[in-house]
């Protein structure tokens, strides 16, 4: 039990009984925990079908489906902190291409994975759907 307490000591959002919703990505913080299986390659995938942000030109809402896949090294992303991070885009004005790359950058900064990929499939606007893929590392 003591060993788990040490392992999870840095996870502040999962333990919080209150919901601290960040209003923009710069306020959000991705947390990570120690990977017990760092000696092997395996893939973690987060499926986020309810991504929303705002068009930076019109201010209208944009809707998308993000898939985040990564091969962890020493640390893994904690999912509640990811949920709050993605929520922070809800009232944030950004282009789809920027959002996908910003999510990838945050994942890489939070857990230094061996490889990572973020795929954004965005709902059509004006008859055009946009799909964006950003990658880090060589394993994908």
Active site residues: 55, 62
b (16+ CB within 10 A) / e for 38-51: eeeeeebebebeeb
Phi, psi of 81 (to 5 degrees): -65, -35
Greatest C-alpha distance within the chain: 56
Read off the tokens for 126: 């004006």
- State the CB neighbour count (10 A cutoff) for residue 63: 13
């Amino acid at each position: 039990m003591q060993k788990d307490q040490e392992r999870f000591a840095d996870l502040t959002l999962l333990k919080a009984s209150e919901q601290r919703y960040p209003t923009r990505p710069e306020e959000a913080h991705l947390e990570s925990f120690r990977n017990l299986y760092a000696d092997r390659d395996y893939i973690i995938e987060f499926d986020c079908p309810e991504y929303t942000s705002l068009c930076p030109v019109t201010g209208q809402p944009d809707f998308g489906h993000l898939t985040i896949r990564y091969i962890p090294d020493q640390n893994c992303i904690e999912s509640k902190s990811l949920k709050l991070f993605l929520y922070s885009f809800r009232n944030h004005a950004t282009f789809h291409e920027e959002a996908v790359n910003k999510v990838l950058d945050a994942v890489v900064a939070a857990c230094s994975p061996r490889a990572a990929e973020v795929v954004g499939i965005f709902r059509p606007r004006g008859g055009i759907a946009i799909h964006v893929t950003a990658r880090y590392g060589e394993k994908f």
